[in-house]
Structure 1
Amino acid sequence: MAAVSDGNPFDDILMHYTNPVTGGHVMKTMGASMQLLRPGFRGKAHRHTGSYIYHVAKGAGYSIVNGKRLDWQKNDIFCVPSWAFHEHVNGSSTDDACLFCFSDLPTIEALGLYREEALAENDGHQPS
């Protein structure tokens, strides 16, 4: 996908895992995704309903979650709580970083509670 897409300013390349039988989320109450942060990627901050647990599958970088910087490297795990502004940064200018994620997105969507908002100030970046 990275070869044919410019990605997006918040998540770079984001792919959701799907249930091959239903075509929906992997489970009725749990979603899974893999996020590719290409070398030098610095995402813009946004927030959304739902909680997200990230596992760093590859690379190193940091995330800013509600104004607090969280440095991460391969095999680290961190959480972004619901409605928390967050942005991810690949710390390398030469290597990819990959974040695997579990979320409660299917539940939030089923309840009709999903909302998303980009940070408008400071060119979309939080002070840390």
Structure 2
Amino acid sequence: MAHQTKFGSGDFGKTPSRIQVQMPERLSHPDVEQANANPDFSVERKHPVHIVNLPSHALSMTIGGLIPGGRSGRHRHTYETILYVLEGRGYSIIEDRRIDWSAGDALYIPVWAWHHHVNSDPDKPARYLACENAPMLQNAGGLAIREEAL
């Protein structure tokens, strides 16, 4: 792994006028949901979560699932989330607001807002795609923080 240079405010004049494309070796993650859900991450979140493993330094993507009648744990984090419902129906409680959702809907989870997700269908699972800016905050100095409610 290449050493990364840290810049300070006095280095602002070193900002280049051009950038060079840095092509990573891996540009795809086939069959994301065919691999087992990330076990530790899924247990901690109380529902299956498949992490998309791509070399983005700014965005993350996961595919989450809620079993019929299931729910995620209540939590909050310092990164924004946009959630797109792939299948199923249910609702999310974001702070004190209930947001009903079904396949094809998108939701926004604001920074540091307490929230959890509920699959209201007793017979069918729900699946969603979540995109977050957590890696950008992690790379800016460990600013991506997540807190689980007790």
Q: How would you bin the TM-score normalised by the shorter chain? A: 0.7 to 0.9
Alignment TM-score, normalising by the size of structure 1: 0.79
Alignment TM-score, normalising by the size of structure 2: 0.68
Unaligned runs of 5+ in 2: 1-35
For 1:54 and 1:41, the matched residues in 2 are separated by 17
More strand by share: 1
For 2:92 and 2:46, the matched residues in 1 are separated by 11
* Corresponding residue of 2:21: none
Give the SS at the match of 2:43: coil
More helix by share: 2
Relative contact order higher in (CA < 8 Å, ≥ 6 apart): 1
Deviation at 1:49, TM superposition (A): 1.1
Unaligned runs of 5+ in 1: 121-128
Of residues 56, 64, 71 in structure 2, which corresponds to 1:42?
71
Deviation at 1:47, TM superposition (A): 0.6
Deviation at 1:35, TM superposition (A): 0.2
User: Which has more radius of gyration?
Assistant: 2
Q: Is contact 2:80–2:133 with CA below 8 Å preserved after alignment?
A: yes
Q: Is contact 1:11–1:35 with CA below 8 Å preserved after alignment?
A: no
- Measured on the aligned residues, the alpha-carbon RMSD in Å equals 1.9
Flag as ranges the 4+ runs of structure 1 deviating above 2 A: 7-11
Gap change, CA 1:96 and 1:73, over 3 Å in 2: same
